[in-house]
Amino acid sequence: MKKLFILSCILLFSISAGAQSLLWKVSGNGLKTPSYIFGTHHLAPLSLLDKVSGFKEAFDASKQVVGELNMKDAQSPEGMKKMQDKMFITNDTTAQILFSDTEQATINSFLKANMGFDLNQVPKIRPAFISMMVAMTIAAKALSFNPKEQLDGYFQTKGEESGKKIAALETLEFQRDLLYDSQSLQRQARLLVCSLNDTAKIVRDTKELTEAYNNFNIDKMQKLSEEKQGNSCDPIPGEMESMIDNRNKDWAVKLPAIMKETPSFIAVGALHLPGENGLITLLRKQGFKVEPVK
């Protein structure tokens, strides 16, 4: 559940296990010039880049910045409207149907304390949207988190200022549907209740995951994100595949052509890198040399 919660708001190497790095060089297999992959984390400060060996050289050498999403699309009035259109339930289901009286009281207590409204005022709001707000609120309380200073957006802004091309692996519509439509309303409701029933645990998990990232330990991040509680809050079959593995496989198909066309700086969530279905292994299986930058 931890991985689902953190990844929806806003993811053991099979080769070279234990390498601690956020920045990876991709070469060989027909590439005339290397590209680079950087694992990001939404709660990391920009100051972390000062500790990443080779970052400036890798970024400057790249002619294109590739992200999961083009951040300008998400921040445009049209993009914001597309996201807002999915905030509300379009069928006959309401919060009063999805949650028990006790659960509604728990949710309303959080909403009133942090957002100034409750479910009675917005009975058609999607549970997944509330979960995103919960995640942002918890992150702000748990860490010195500045939502205006995120690595993904920073790389694209800095790239644009440097005259680099900006490209995306996914569309806003895809990510919107993944956040709001990939799970049933009932499942969204269950995960929201799970998060609010133990916010102290979410705070601990968030701090631990962020500490692992700040230490460049993506192996540990994966291990932490896969811990289970043995109850209905754990991922059900297909959820993690939809959130992580299937996207990795899609990106691994797209990236070779992108890198062969233009030397690229590719920034995706750090949890997309490790594991047998992670980008590092998937690209290596295609014949690319993928090595940590030291």
Residue 287: which pLDDT band, with cuts at 50, 70 and 90? very high
Q: What pTM, to 2 d.p., does this model score?
A: 0.89
Domain enclosing residue 64, as ranges: 2-87+126-292
Whether 110 is covered by a domain: the verdict is: no
State pLDDT tens for residues 215-263: 999 999 999 988 888 888 888 888 889 899 999 999 999 999 999 999 9
Residue 105 domain-assigned (yes or no) = no
Structure confidence by residue, pLDDT tens digits, 36-68 = 999 999 889 899 999 999 999 999 999 999 999
CA 164-246-9 angle, 5° bins: 70
* Cα(210)–Cα(208) distance, integer angstroms: 5
Mean pLDDT of the chain: 89
Inside any domain, residue 264 = yes
Is 117 inside any structural domain?
no
Count: domains in the chain: 1
The residues, any chain, with a CB within 8 Å of residue 16's CB and separated by 6 or more, are 291, 292
- For 162, residues 6+ apart whose C-beta sits below 8 A from its C-beta are 60
Is the residue at 101 inside a domain? no
- Residue 100 domain-assigned (yes or no): no
* Helix, strand, coil percent values for the chain (each to nearest 5): 55, 10, 35
> Residue 19's pLDDT is what?
57
Residue 17: pLDDT over 90 = no
Alpha carbons 49 and 60: distance in angstroms, whole number? 14
Within a domain: 106? no
Task: Name the phi and psi angles at 66, rounded to 5.
Answer: -115, 125
Per-residue pLDDT reduced to its tens digit, 252-278: 999 999 999 999 999 999 999 999 999
What does the DSSP assignment read for 64-117?
EEEESS-HHHHHSHHHHHHHHTTSB--SS--HHHHS-HHHHHHHHHHHHHHTS-
